[in-house]
Structure 1
Amino acid sequence: MEGNGKAATRRTTRSIDFFRGFLRSPGDVGSIIPSSRFLERRIINTSEVASARTVVELGPGTGGTTRAILAAMPEDARLLTIELDPQFSTILEGFGDSRLIPHTGSAVDLADILAQHGLGAPDVVISGIPFSTMPREIGLAIIAAVRDNLAPGGRFVAYQFRGAVGRLGKEVIGEPAVELEVLNIPPMRFYTWQVEKSSAATG
């Protein structure tokens, strides 16, 4: 029961922090409500982080999805989170997991950020950032940065409740596979691209 109480307290704290982040920058936060455990489970399964060595999460927010990714990752894997809101990054710094590297900055600069932290090409990039509210050229630049920096055969998984990332991604990477997670508020679409080995960067 004590464990359940701690989990409930953590979820409440996440919700408050998430709402504060939404009020600070509503255009940069994908939803007013943190992700559900069903969404987190689908993120893990779709991104295949259990077999990854380097993972990048764009827009981790208060870290609910980050905790789920860390729990599923191998012990020798690394997780780089990229977040525009410095207060969210501060929350992640308190996780105390040596595999986690919180970074405050823009996903457009993915190549430089990977180099700054001594990381090679990621096996998977997971994105919860709201492509529907950002300028089109920024969205295209982020997706291009992901494409250009993924390891050969790497995966890009974006979960959104609007379809902007699917349309933008089609221009940059090609047609995505699409799934729907209805057990979340709001329901989320999952867009997945597997970058061809011949076109992926090698780091």
Structure 2
Amino acid sequence: MNIFLGAPIVGILTALAAVVAEQLLAVVVNIIFQKEIVLDVYAHLGFFLVAAAIIEESLKYFSAIYILRRIFGLKRFKFIFAAILTGLFFGLTETYFVLLANGKGIRDIGILDNETLFSLTAILLVHILTAFLIAVLIAGRSGETKLTALKTIIPAAFIHLLFNFLIVQKGDFTNWLVGIVLAITFVANLSIIAFNFRELD
């Protein structure tokens, strides 16, 4: 499978699967707790944003380990690069859905205010970086255990949750914090590669 074709498709399909899972969660919450999840849920970090982060990072992990790794047979840097591409297209798909939810389209990007553009760019970057993190954690481990999935998903989900918490807070200082979190994640990814360079699989 061509990485430049396969990885984007995996990213888009994984994002669509996440949307379906999140909508099913919203339906279950509505049925059990008689509580409708509406768009203003994104105005604060609550149950749904926490669950969404866990769902999205879990699906990224399973797409990386089962599709990129086992079906495509990718190893080392090809695997990591494919995961980054997957994260990019996951992020692009989610960004598109965010635009649609706000009555906007691709053509409207040029007229968006700076705060919205920053948020959309940050969403894109967090998906790239968490997919990158998941890939380097998978590639840097010599074997699998029962806790391998959790040890990989939890760090990515934590970063995603921290990002969600910061992004719903409005303000210039918060934007700086978002940038710092993204930068630290990027450096951490490179550090994991450096420390596990010989063992990368």
The TM-score with structure 1 as length reference comes to 0.29
Higher relative contact order (CA 8 A, sep 6+): 2
Q: Which has the higher helix share?
A: 2
TM-score, length-normalised on structure 2? 0.29
